Amino acid sequence: MRAIEFAGAGGPEVLRIVDRPRPEAGPGEVLIRVAAAGLNRADVQQRRGFYAPPPGASDIPGLEVSGTVAALGSGVDRFEVGASVCALLTGGGYAEYVAVPVGQVLPVPVGMPTVDAAALPEVTCTVWSNLVMTARITSGDWVLIHGGAGGIGTMATQLVAAVGAHPVVTAGSGSKIEYCRSFGAEAGINYRDEDFVERMRVISGGHGADAVLDVVGAAYLDRNIRALAFGGRLVVIGLQGGATGELDLGLLMSRRARVIGTTLRARPAEEKARIVAEVAEHVWPLVEAGTVRAAVEARFPLERAAEAHEYFDSGEHTGKILLTM
C-alpha cells in the first residue's frame, strides 16, 4: 500500500511516499480502507522530530482517518464490511489502509461526506475530553480558547456554545476573528495587539475565564492564570510557546485555580474508547443535526502531502486540512 513516511526530521521536504505492507485486522480491530486523513499539529511536531510515536505505534503519521471497513478482526461485530467510518488513531493515518481498535471507530455521521468525516475524530475527542470530561464546563461558563481559527479552536467554539457556555477566542487577525464568529464565538481577541487578560475581563463583565483551552504553553502560562476566574481551570494541550515556564503559586492559590496538562495520543486504548463513546453519544447528534460542523478548509491528494504541510506551516490556514487517497 502507499503511505507517507518522514525521511528524517525537518521541513515538509522530508515527506516521501513509500510502499508499505498492508496491515491486517487483529483481534478486536477494524481494518479501514482510508478515504482521507486529517493533518494535525502533532503530525508536524513528529515531522520536526519533537513528538515521537508512543511505543508500539506506527511511525507513519496521521491521527485520524475516514473511509470504509475493509475487514473485521476476531471478536468484532459492531460494523459491517463496506460501512463508512472514521477513527481516532495513535498513528498510521497517512496510508491507504490502517488497522484500528474497534473502540476508536465511529460511523460517519448521517449526511456527511465520508472524506470530510476525517476532520472530526481528533478534534471532537480532544475538545470533549478536555473541556467537558476534564474541565467540567457547564452552561453559563466563560471559556477562553487560544488558536480559535484552527481545527481544535473551531470545534471547541462550537461545543462550548452547544453546552450553553460562552466561547471567547484568540486569533492573529481581524479576518480570522470573523471566521471564528461564523462558528459561534461570542467575542474575539487579536493576540497581536490586544492584552487577552484585560480583554477577557472586559468581555466577561469582570468575571474572567472559568476555563482556558491552551495550545501555547509556557509563553502564556502566567497570563492564562491571570485570565482565570476564581475556581478556574487552565487546560494545556499544546506547547507551541515552549514547555518550561514560571508559575506564581500564590496567584494560583488566590484564584483557587487548577492547571491541567493532557495529551490524547498516548492514552491507553481503553481510555480512548471511553472518550470515543462519549463523543458518539453527545457530539454525533449535534453533527447530524447541523449544530456542529467540520471546518474543512483544504484537501490535498496524498501525493501532495508535502505541500499540505507547507501550507500548514505558513500559519495562513484556518480550520482543517485533509489528505485524500
Q: Are residues 142 and 200 in the same domain?
A: yes
Q: Are residues 179 and 212 in the same domain?
A: yes
> What CATH number is associated with residue 221?
3.40.50.720
Q: Are residues 12 and 55 in the same domain?
A: yes
Q: Domain total for the chain?
A: 2
Q: Are 217 and 247 in contact (CB under 8 A)?
A: no
Please tell me the distance from the alpha carbon of residue 89 to that of residue 104, in angstroms, as a whole number: 7
Dihedral angle over CA of 306, 3, 44, 284, nearest 10: 110
Q: Are residues 222 and 297 in the same domain?
A: no
pLDDT digits (tens, 9 = 90+) for 198-248: 999 999 999 999 999 999 999 999 999 999 999 999 999 999 998 999 999
Please tell me the distance from the alpha carbon of residue 169 to that of residue 159, in angstroms, as a whole number: 13
Mean pLDDT of 81-108: 98
Q: Are residues 109 and 65 in the same domain?
A: yes
Residue 315 in this model has a pLDDT that exceeds 90: no
Residue 261 β-bridge partners: 236
pLDDT digits (tens, 9 = 90+) for 133-161: 999 999 999 999 999 999 999 999 999 99
Query: Model-level pTM?
Result: 0.95
Q: Are 143 and 211 in contact (CB under 8 A)?
A: yes
Task: Using alpha carbons, select from 319, 268, 307 the residue that is nearest to residue 4.
Answer: 307
Domain boundary among 261, 285, 304: 261
Q: Is 200 left (phi over 0), alpha (psi -120 to 50) or beta?
A: alpha
- DSSP codes of every residue in 17-83: EEE-PPP---TTEEEEEEEEEEE-HHHHHHHTTSSPPPTTS-SS--SEEEEEEEEE-TT--SS-TT-
Q: Please provide the average confidence, as pLDDT, over all residues in the chain.
A: 97
Whole domain around residue 22: which residue ranges?
Answer: 2-120+265-324
Q: Are residues 139 and 236 in the same domain?
A: yes
Rg (alpha carbons) of the chain, rounded to whole number: 19
Mean pLDDT of 155-173: 98
Q: Are residues 107 and 163 in the same domain?
A: no
Please tell me the distance from the alpha carbon of residue 217 to that of residue 72, in angstroms, as a whole number: 40
Q: Are residues 222 and 274 in the same domain?
A: no
> What CATH number is associated with residue 112?
3.90.180.10
Q: Are 35 and 64 in contact (CB under 8 A)?
A: no
Domain boundary among 238, 261, 284: 261
Helices 174-181, 151-162: inter-axial angle, 10-degree rounding: 40
Q: Are residues 45 and 152 in the same domain?
A: no
Q: Are residues 98 and 147 in the same domain?
A: no
Task: Using alpha carbons, select from 197, 215, 313 the residue that is nearest to residue 255.
Answer: 197
pLDDT digits (tens, 9 = 90+) for 244-285: 999 999 999 999 999 999 999 999 999 999 999 999 999 999
Question: With 0-12 CB in 10 A as exposed, 13-18 as middle and 19+ as buried, what is 144?
Answer: buried
**pLDDT-based confidence at residue 116 (cuts at 50, 70, 90):** very high
pLDDT at 187: 98
- 298: enclosing H helix or E strand: strand 296-301
Domain boundary among 226, 261, 296: 261
Q: Are residues 93 and 196 in the same domain?
A: no
Q: Are residues 48 and 138 in the same domain?
A: no
